[in-house]
């Protein structure tokens, strides 16, 4: 350990690629402090805005950019970082948006009446976070401030609350000031948790106040989220929303649950209101939508509007009331569903804007027809309709409607493009109204991945006591990487933003060392330059990795349920950590990329084909309506055909069925006889899977998938690639299934195109490039799997030949043995053992399938090995 206030060592790279220590010229910078703030006006005894910084943490940093090593040995540990090294409080940054209701206003309170009338249809709304919001920094207060909450506003005002003085908190909560929301949330949070002191500085706000954008709800969520993160309360987003909602109703304000959706950020969220129950679903925008929210600068009485409309509930008194029930019920459900489909599926931004604007215009027309007669003095809204029908806006907008409670408050307009959005802003200003830009950003369909690596792996016990299968070494291009590194690399390259590793204590330490700690200098000095650089790759992947602890290896069900909070209501990728897969796609698209490109919003399973002898090892699927034409690898790759459309609607799922059951119930038409669709070990699942996993009927993961298939529908996508279950198969069995899968993946007498031959057989020798020749069906798999063997056997028109694969160190491919010894072991039917005269680098005999079914290859003319 270094003494406080002393410099720390770092490392710089010399020209020869090695590292050496140096002493920085400047001392370690102290922890960041909050910006200066004017003296508080309402609390004279507040501590200074910038207290003198405490001594720096006694942490040894290998480099100035490396994450700190905490006393527990794990980087970025929440528990340690909250109070270790002299109790230096950490500072967190927060941003909470406002919200706009795209569709479904008033349905939140209407759905609440199901408590009294079960015939009322649940409410439904599509809401979106605004571009504007509240920016804040927060930190824990220690020592004398451990029972105080200090809040500083961007306008210079501030307040100090005593967390132990409940009477004073209630008095503040009932006041008309903005600080009432803070006191209300502290009161509500105190009912469930005992939190310590905190300083929260709202240093910036570009969110308009009292414009129907839920600025009060934003303050409530900001307070709850800050204390949740500072004290690791483990509240989900829904938990934050609930406490913020109850905190706000402790004040004179009377908000609805709709307002608290600011907790979800800028994304579009579908909210369902069923009595007192609230459920949410993330809606992915497939294209960017440009909008303008307009403050009409007119007057309306929201309380009067709510009073008039609530008179129709809970039981309708006549036809007009029944029409309002339908408008806020089943009609609203259909409108929200249609709008959700437009946002999620239309990838052309202009087309999406056209359809969304048209839907808003129709929604406004229905509102004017049904709701306005119930409160004509407030809902006639002349200013709103003057804006919506203004001639100068026609060529720039596709439609629009009122916002919130309707009336002459605010409006929203859908613009044709970003340039049109700018023009609309200018026109609105010329009408003496106030515009606010709103952009619904295009979102990645899947941003989070879950990889369980906390299991016991009994299939390779007792080796798994000291080495998990996710650390199985895989060699390629001169680097030997653990299998988990290959998987995380693929995920990162495919656009996954957060990788959740479900770990136990041992695997957390292993993954921390692999992805979050820079390698020792003495180790890096002993490896090549390209290996040194790979350490930076691992660290960059580590920034996307978070750990979820599962201390006892129980089940996949429990591992997934632990991740529900982190998934935050979005679709996610699930991949088994003890599997290793490699792509055989001619376009070199990874397995993860193939799966992500095919996702259409419904649950999706990666699949491959195996024969009936392997059915007892995996989940098996059946499809009664296969896609036509058949996608690769069963069919040819057709240029211009979208791969995302090659989906197989799954009709039945079964876990490790018997051969007899599979032949009776799980046969898929168009597949060659004896082949079945089975799990590839990767999935894209919707949040509904958590509900299925909690169901008592879901005894196994595949049963939960089947429940999901029955409720939402489920598709499969055929993967161009191979996979190995590193945690279950013995070595000879793994090789045997590898080669059998090779034969099934490439049916007999199938002619490979010139392009595939060039990609899959880069080591094809000159003596096989004249005309057509016969080669083993396993050949096309050998290119990327040198961790199993460094030599392969080619069977051409002549005798067997052993070919050494190309390598960066050994050079190009070449024939190393023309007459190897061939044995036919009785315990491996259909297999042979080839023993060449030359020694293999892996020190193992090479096993190769010599089935009578061969692949016919038309090799490119003039191609040399």
Query: Nearest Cα to 129, choosing from 103, 97, 95?
Result: 97
Q: What is the pLDDT of residues 8-50, one digit of tens each?
A: 333 333 333 434 343 333 344 444 444 444 444 444 444 444 4
Domains of the chain: 1-88 (no CATH), 91-283 (3.30.230.10), 289-440 (3.30.70.890), 448-729 (3.90.550.10), 737-858 (no CATH)
Six-digit token string for 370? 């049904």
Q: Is-contact 69 53, C-beta < 8 A?
A: no
Q: pLDDT averaged over the chain?
A: 75
Q: Tell me how long the chain is.
A: 865
10 Å Cβ neighbour count for 395?
A: 9
Q: Which of 157-166, 236-245, 247-256, 702-711 has the lowest mean pLDDT?
A: 247-256
What secondary structure, in 3-state letters, does 703-744 show? Answer: HHHHHHHHHHCCEEEECCEEEEECCCCCHHHHHHHHHHHHHH
Q: Is-contact 454 509, C-beta < 8 A?
A: no
10 Å Cβ neighbour count for 475?
A: 16
Host H or E run for residue 535:
helix 529-542
Average pLDDT over residues 375-392: 93
- Does a cis peptide bond (omega within 30 degrees of 0) precede residue 629? yes
For residue 721, pLDDT beyond 60: yes
C-alpha span between 222 and 243 (Å, rounded): 11
* C-alpha 76 chain-centroid distance: 21
DSSP structural state of residue 395? T
10 Å Cβ neighbour count for 50?
A: 11
DSSP structural state of residue 264? G
Q: Output the pLDDT for position 353.
A: 95
Q: What is the pLDDT of residues 851-863, one digit of tens each?
A: 322 222 222 233 2
Among 61-65, 583-587, 681-685, 706-710, name the most confident range.
Answer: 681-685
Q: What is the pLDDT of residues 735-751, one digit of tens each?
A: 444 444 433 433 322 33
When pLDDT is cut at 50, 70 and 90, the band that residue 823 belongs to is low
Find all residues with CB under 8 Å of 538, minimum gap 6, and list them: 485, 514, 515
C-alpha span between 187 and 501 (Å, rounded): 36
Please give the span between the terminal C-alpha atoms of the chain, in angstroms, as a whole number.
57
Q: Is-contact 423 396, C-beta < 8 A?
A: yes
C-alpha span between 383 and 403 (Å, rounded): 13
What secondary structure, in 3-state letters, does 30-84 show? Answer: CCCCCCCCCCCCCCCCCCCCCCCCCCCCCCCCCCCCCCCCCCCCCCCCHHHHCCH
Q: What is the pLDDT of residues 754-807, one digit of tens each?
A: 222 222 232 232 223 333 333 333 333 333 333 334 444 444 444 555 655 555
For residue 542, pLDDT beyond 80: yes
Beta strands in 258-362 (DSSP E): 268-274, 277-283, 289-295
Find all residues with CB under 8 Å of 643, minimum gap 6, and list them: 594, 597, 598, 631
For residue 75, pLDDT beyond 70: no
10 Å Cβ neighbour count for 664?
A: 10
Residue with tokens 């989900």: 236
C-alpha span between 85 and 87 (Å, rounded): 6
C-alpha span between 500 and 544 (Å, rounded): 8
Per-residue exposure over 453-463, b if at least 16 CB sit within 10 Å of its own CB, e if not: bbbebeebeee
For residue 301, pLDDT beyond 80: yes
Would you list the DSSP string of 656-714?
A: S--HHHHHHH---TTSPTTEEEEEEEEEEE-THHHHHHHSTT--SHHHHHHHHHHHH--
- Partnered with residue 797 across adjacent β-strands are none
- Does a cis peptide bond (omega within 30 degrees of 0) precede residue 633? yes
Q: Is-contact 386 433, C-beta < 8 A?
A: no
Six-digit token string for 71? 């006393």
Residue with tokens 């060392």: 513
Q: Is-contact 418 290, C-beta < 8 A?
A: yes
- Partnered with residue 645 across adjacent β-strands are none
Determine phi and psi for 290, rounding to 5 degrees. -105, 125
Find all residues with CB under 8 Å of 163, minimum gap 6, and list them: 147, 148, 149, 169, 186, 190, 195, 196, 197
Six-digit token string for 490? 């693929």
Query: Nearest Cα to 152, choosing from 202, 94, 220, 217?
Result: 202
C-alpha span between 795 and 793 (Å, rounded): 7
For residue 680, pLDDT beyond 50: yes
Q: Which of 206-210, 260-264, 305-309, 484-488 has the lowest mean pLDDT?
A: 206-210
10 Å Cβ neighbour count for 70?
A: 18
Per-residue exposure over 30-46, b if at least 16 CB sit within 10 Å of its own CB, e if not: eeeebeebeebeebeeb
Largest CA distance in the chain: 98
Query: Nearest Cα to 101, choosing from 411, 342, 331, 407?
Result: 411
Average pLDDT over residues 231-249: 88
Q: Which of 131-145, 471-485, 490-504 has the lowest mean pLDDT?
A: 471-485
C-alpha span between 421 and 426 (Å, rounded): 9
Q: Output the pLDDT for position 137.
A: 94
- The number of C-alpha atoms within 13 Å of 239 and in the hemisphere containing its C-beta is 16
C-alpha span between 18 and 718 (Å, rounded): 45
The SS3 call for residue 849 is strand
C-alpha span between 519 and 521 (Å, rounded): 6
Average pLDDT over residues 412-426: 95
Q: Is-contact 165 149, C-beta < 8 A?
A: no
When pLDDT is cut at 50, 70 and 90, the band that residue 616 belongs to is confident
Host H or E run for residue 102:
strand 91-103
């Amino acid at each position: 350990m270094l003494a406080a206030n002393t410099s720390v060592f770092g490392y710089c790279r010399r020209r020869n690629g090695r590292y050496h220590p140096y002493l920085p010229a400047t001392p370690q910078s102290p922890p960041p402090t909050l910006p200066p703030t004017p003296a508080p006006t309402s609390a004279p005894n507040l501590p200074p805005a910038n207290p003198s910084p405490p001594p720096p943490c006694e942490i040894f940093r290998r480099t100035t950019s490396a994450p700190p090593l905490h006393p527990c040995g794990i980087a970025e540990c929440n528990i340690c970082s909250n109070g270790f090294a002299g109790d230096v409080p950490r500072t967190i940054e927060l941003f909470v948006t406002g919200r706009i209701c795209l569709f479904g206003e008033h349905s939140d309170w209407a759905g609440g009446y199901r408590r009294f009338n079960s015939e009322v249809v649940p409410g439904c709304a599509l809401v979106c976070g605004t571009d504007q919001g509240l920016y804040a920094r927060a930190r824990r207060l220690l020592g004398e401030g451990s029972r105080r909450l200090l809040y500083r506003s961007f306008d210079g005002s501030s307040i100090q609350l005593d967390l132990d003085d409940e009477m004073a908190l209630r008095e503040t909560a009932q006041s008309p000031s903005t600080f009432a929301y803070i006191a209300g949330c502290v009161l509500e949070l105190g009912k469930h948790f005992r939190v310590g002191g905190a300083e929260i500085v709202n240093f910036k706000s570009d969110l308009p106040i009292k414009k129907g954008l839920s600025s009060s709800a934003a303050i409530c969520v900001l307070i709850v989220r800050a204390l949740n993160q500072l004290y690791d309360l483990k509240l989900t987003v829904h938990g934050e929303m609930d406490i913020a909602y109850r905190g706000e109703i402790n004040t004179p304000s009377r908000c609805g649950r709709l307002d608290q959706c600011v907790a979800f950020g800028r994304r579009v969220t579908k909210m369902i209101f069923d009595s007192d129950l609230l459920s949410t679903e993330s809606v992915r925008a497939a294209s960017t939508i440009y909008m303008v929210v307009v403050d009409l600068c007119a007057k309306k009485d929201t309380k009067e509007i709510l009073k008039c409309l609530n008179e129709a509930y809970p039981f309708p008194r006549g036809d007009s009331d029944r029409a309002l029930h339908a408008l806020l019920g089943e009609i609203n459900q259909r409108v929200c569903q249609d709008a959700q489909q437009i946002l999620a599926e239309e990838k052309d931004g202009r087309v999406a804007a056209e359809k969304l604007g048209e839907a808003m215009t129709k929604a406004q027309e229905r509102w004017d027809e049904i709701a306005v007669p119930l409160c004509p003095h407030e809902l006639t809204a002349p200013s709103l309709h003057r804006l919506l029908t203004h001639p100068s806006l026609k060529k720039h907008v596709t439609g629009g409607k009122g916002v919130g409670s309707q009336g002459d408050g605010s409006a929203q307009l859908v613009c044709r493009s970003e340039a049109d959005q700018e023009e609309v802003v200018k026109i609105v200003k010329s009408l003496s109204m106030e515009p606010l830009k709103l952009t619904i950003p295009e979102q990645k369909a899947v941003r989070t991945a879950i990889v369980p690596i906390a299991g016991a792996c009994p299939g390779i016990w007792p080796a798994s006591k000291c080495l998990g299968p996710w650390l199985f070494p895989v060699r390629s291009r001169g680097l030997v990487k653990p299998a988990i590194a290959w998987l995380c690399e693929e995920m990162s390259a495919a656009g996954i933003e957060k990788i959740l590793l479900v770990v136990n204590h041992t695997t957390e330490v292993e993954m921390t060392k692999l992805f979050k700690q820079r390698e020792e200098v003495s180790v890096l000095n002993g490896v090549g330059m390209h290996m040194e650089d790979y350490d930076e790759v691992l660290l960059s992947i580590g920034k996307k990795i978070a750990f979820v602890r599962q201390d006892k290896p129980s089940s996949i069900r429990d591992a997934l349920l632990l991740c529900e909070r982190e998934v935050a209501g979005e679709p996610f990728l699930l991949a088994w950590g003890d599997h290793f897969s490699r792509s055989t796609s001619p376009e070199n698209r990874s397995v993860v990329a193939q799966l992500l490109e095919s996702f259409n919003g419904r649950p999706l399973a990666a699949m491959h084909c195996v024969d009936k002898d392997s059915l007892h090892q995996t989940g098996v699927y059946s499809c009664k309506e296969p896609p036509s034409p058949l996608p690769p690898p069963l069919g040819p790759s057709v240029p211009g055909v979208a791969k995302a459309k090659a989906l197989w609607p799954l009709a039945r799922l079964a876990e490790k069925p018997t051969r007899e059951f599979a032949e009776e119930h799980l046969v898929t038409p168009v597949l060659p006889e004896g082949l079945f669709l089975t799990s590839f070990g990767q999935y894209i699942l919707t949040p509904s899977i958590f509900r299925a996993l909690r169901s008592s009927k879901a005894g196994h993961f595949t049963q939960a998938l089947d429940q999901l298939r029955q409720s939402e529908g489920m598709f499969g996508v055929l993967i161009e690639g191979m996979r190995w279950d590193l945690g279950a198969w013995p070595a000879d069995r793994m090789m045997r299934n590898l080669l059998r899968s090779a034969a099934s993946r490439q049916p007999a007498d199938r002619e490979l195109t010139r392009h595939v031959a060039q990609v899959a057989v880069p080591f094809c020798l000159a003596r096989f490039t004249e005309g057509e020749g016969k080669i083993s069906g396993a050949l096309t798999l050998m290119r990327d799997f040198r961790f199993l063997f460094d030599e392969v056997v080619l069977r051409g028109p002549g005798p067997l030949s052993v070919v050494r694969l190309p390598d960066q160190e050994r050079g190009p491919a070449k024939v190393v043995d023309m007459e190897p010894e061939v044995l036919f072991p009785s315990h491996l039917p259909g297999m042979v053992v080839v023993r060449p005269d030359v020694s293999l680098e892996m020190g193992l005999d090479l096993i190769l399938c010599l089935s009578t079914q061969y692949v016919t290859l038309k090799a490119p003319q003039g191609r040399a090995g």
